[in-house]
């Protein structure tokens, strides 16, 4: 016997059309989500540096010691320009072997723009190579490197002014004076105990210096690398949007479940 008489054939035919339509809709939705996820993952990021957690009050601690070269100047200039464009609010502490407050906490980020111009090459004129503008710190300020002084002053400002939800951005090559390491360890411990996050924008650092700061600040620190103008980011690309990735996985699971539980049933006229 090759056929079984079946009543209600018309109802099964409608169910088949419905199952086929569901399958086609799930496949189409999955294709759209996969394409959208791929496009989002390859889209250039608008901002390379993510500076601070949302809702925090930032203090930029800027290294202007003698170890900062003219190549590093361009990295500083690009970092300050990106900070200035965030529409946030920041204080500014500059340091070499001593530190002082240049801008108080809560200053609009646009106030960093005048500082950025000292570290930005102007356009070439009359065939001459451009030169960095003479900045106020070259002769009178740029000495040794004592990062503990810069971080320590930022911490004292936070405590004295009762800054709410503080966070610190350290912009430095991390080439600290060996005699400063004991003080740096104490300041790092104070940051960890206070739970104040530190974002390190590293200016072409040596790997051992970067590893040292990772150990000292532990979970309080996140290290990013400042780029030269036009230089590509060290990261592969922006993260895949979590919503798109989640939806793609859910639709794929729904399609698999539909194929498993709605197994194809074939029939025909006797």
Domain harbouring 163, CATH code: 3.40.50.410
CB-neighbour burial class of residue 111 (10 A; exposed 0-12, middle 13-18, buried 19+): middle
Q: Quote the pTM value.
A: 0.65
* Domain identity same for 61 and 185: yes
* Domain identity same for 28 and 67: no
pLDDT per residue rounded down to tens, the chain (270 residues)? 455 555 555 566 666 677 777 777 767 777 776 777 666 655 544 443 456 777 788 999 999 887 777 778 888 888 899 899 888 889 999 998 889 899 999 999 999 999 998 888 877 777 677 787 877 777 666 667 899 999 999 999 999 999 989 999 999 988 889 999 999 999 999 999 999 988 888 888 888 888 888 888 876 667 777 665 544 444 334 455 667 677 777 767 776 776 666 655 555 555
Judge whether 168 lies within some domain: yes
Q: What is the tally of structural domains in the chain?
A: 2
* Domain identity same for 157 and 253: no
Judge whether 68 lies within some domain: yes
CB atoms within 10 A of CB 32: 14
* Domain identity same for 182 and 96: yes
Query: Which residue has tokens 């990261």?
Result: 235
* Domain identity same for 104 and 143: yes
β-strands 99-108, 89-95 pairing = antiparallel
* Domain identity same for 41 and 66: no
* Domain identity same for 104 and 220: yes
Structural domain including 211 reads 57-121+131-225
* Domain identity same for 21 and 71: no
* Domain identity same for 174 and 87: yes
């Amino acid at each position: 016997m090759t056929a079984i008489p079946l009543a209600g054939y018309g109802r099964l035919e409608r169910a088949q059309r419905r199952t086929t339509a569901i399958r086609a809709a799930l496949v189409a939705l999955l294709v759209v989500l996969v394409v959208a996820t791929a496009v989002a993952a390859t889209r250039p990021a608008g901002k390379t540096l993510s500076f601070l957690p949302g809702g925090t009050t930032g203090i930029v601690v800027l290294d202007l010691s003698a170890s900062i070269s003219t190549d590093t100047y361009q990295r500083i200039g690009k970092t300050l320009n990106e900070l200035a464009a965030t529409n946030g609010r920041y204080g500014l502490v500059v340091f070499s072997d001593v530190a002082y407050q240049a801008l108080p906490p809560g200053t609009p980020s646009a106030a960093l723009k005048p500082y950025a111009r000292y570290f930005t090459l102007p356009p070439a004129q009359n065939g001459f190579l451009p030169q960095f503008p003479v900045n106020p710190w070259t002769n009178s300020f740029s000495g040794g490197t004592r990062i503990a002084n810069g971080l320590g002053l930022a911490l004292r400002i936070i405590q004295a002014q009762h800054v709410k939800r503080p966070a610190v951005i350290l912009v430095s090559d991390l080439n600290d004076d060996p005699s400063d390491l004991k003080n740096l360890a104490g300041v790092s411990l104070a940051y960890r105990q206070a739970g104040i996050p530190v974002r390190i924008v590293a200016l072409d650092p040596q790997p051992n210096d970067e590893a040292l700061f990772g150990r000292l600040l532990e979970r309080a620190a996140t290290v990013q690398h400042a780029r030269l103008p036009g230089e590509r980011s060290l990261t592969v690309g922006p993260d895949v949007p979590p919503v798109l990735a989640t939806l793609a996985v859910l639709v794929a699971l729904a399609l698999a479940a539909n194929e498993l539980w709605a197994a194809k049933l074939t029939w025909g006229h006797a």
